[in-house]
Amino acid sequence: MKGELAMDDKIMRLQKILDESRYTVALCGSGMIEEGGSANMKNQDLAYKIEQKYGYCTDELYSSAFYNARSELFFTFYRNEILTHCPELTASGPALAALEKNGHLHCVITSNIYDIPRRGGCKNVINLHGSIYENQCPRCKKQYTLEYIQNYPRKVPLCEKCNIPVRPLISLFGEMVDSQRMTKTTLEISKADTLLLLGTSMDSDVFSQYIKYFAGQRIVIIHKKEHYRDGDASMAILDCPKNVLPLLR
Ligand SMILES: [Zn+2]
């Protein structure tokens, strides 16, 4: 570990890595929503509260089985917990967009459903698990906005034409991740010579299966939580991405 380096030195080193990198890809994990004040659903206290409140655990509530068979409960949970606790935008999104504009960042892949990089201004974004901003009727494919889902006067938002529940285009538990997004993610990571892990770690549940396709030189971790595998990366900065990314250019 190179934990002895002062922040200024780390930023200088990281800037040099970015300057020398031909193709840089950022992976955004749960730390990117936690820094905006949103809790990770895997947090044990929160998981317990949800189970007390709804009588089911998050994995069940946030599942395709519930969406299909118990849509009232699914949408109550989805609107009250997932949409209401949308994270605040931080300095990370615009900082990523600035790096992309300067040619220092080529693709941003996020496992969060809040579309933070694109809302910050990034162009080449893969929302691996989909986005709360995309909603569609499963039958006629009509698109609906987030506001439509939020403000629908009844518990289950229905398609205006088909009168069936509108589907938020997000990956629910018990479903395969969209295969096109998976393929694109693998391709982008295999092209990269620098990988930025933002608010996530080498052993991430979501990303570890993709990180194995990385054939480049450097992995840089920017994450508040220390992880025992941080030493496997070229460098690790133990801080929130919002405190680090705006210092780069
Ligand atoms: Zn429809």
Distance from Cα 172 to the centre of ligand 1, integer Å: 20
**Does a structural domain hold residue 143?**
no
Rounded to the nearest whole angstrom, what is the distance from the C-alpha of residue 149 to the centroid of ligand 1?
14
d(CA 12, CA 247): 9
Helix (H, G, I), strand (E, B) or coil at 237: strand
Residues with CB under 5 A from ligand 1 (ion): 137, 139-140, 142, 159, 161-162
Please indicate, yes or no, if residue 144 is contained in any of the structural domains.
Answer: no
Q: How far is the CA of 144 from the centre of ligand 1 (A)?
A: 10
Residue 140 resides in a domain: no
Residues ≥6 apart with Cβ < 8 Å to 192: 23, 24, 25, 106, 107, 214, 216
Would residue 197 count as lying in a domain? yes
Q: Does 53 fall in a domain?
A: no
Is residue 150 helix, strand or coil?
Answer: helix
Instruction: Give me ligand 1 centre to Cα 146, in Å.
Output: 16
pTM of the full structure? 0.93
Q: Ligand 1 center to residue 136 CA distance, Å?
A: 8
Residue range of the domain that includes 225: 1-37+89-129+176-249
| E strand residue ranges, 171-246 | 194-198, 218-222, 235-237
- What is the DSSP-derived secondary structure letter of residue 124? S
Buried b or exposed e, range 48-68, using 16+ CB within 10 angstroms? eebeeebebebebbbbeebbe
In a domain, 160, yes or no: no
pLDDT of residue 7: 86
Q: What CA–CA distance (Å, rounded) separates 115 from 189?
A: 19
Instruction: State the total domains in the chain.
Output: 1
CB atoms within 10 A of CB 43: 14
Distance 148 CA to ligand 1 centre (A): 14
CA of 76 to the centre of ligand 1 (A): 21
Q: Which two tokens stand for residue 185?
A: 């993610």
Q: What is the pLDDT of residue 3?
A: 47
Residue-level pLDDT at 46: 86
| 138 lies in some domain | no
- How does DSSP classify residue 177? P
DSSP letters, 76-92, are HHIIIIIITTPPPP-SH
Residue 151, exposed/middle/buried by CB under 10 A (0-12, 13-18, 19+)?
exposed
CA of 165 to the centre of ligand 1 (A): 8
Smallest CA-to-CA distance from 102 within 123, 84, 81 is with: 123
Report d(CA 249, CA 93) in Å as an integer: 14
Residue 200 lies in a domain: yes
Domain with 218 in it: what CATH number?
3.40.50.1220
Cβ-count burial 114-136 (b if 16+ within 10 Å, e if not): bbbbbebebeebbbbbbbbbbbe
Q: How far is the CA of 201 from the centre of ligand 1 (A)?
A: 40
- pLDDT by residue for the chain (249 residues), tens only, comes to 444 578 889 999 999 999 999 999 999 999 999 999 987 777 888 889 999 999 999 999 999 999 999 999 999 999 999 999 899 999 999 999 999 999 999 999 999 999 999 999 999 999 999 999 999 999 999 999 999 999 999 999 999 999 999 999 999 998 988 999 999 999 999 999 999 999 999 999 899 999 999 999 999 999 999 999 999 999 999 999 999 999 999
Listed residue (77, 61, 80, 57) closest to 69, CA to CA: 61
Give the three-class secondary structure for 143: strand
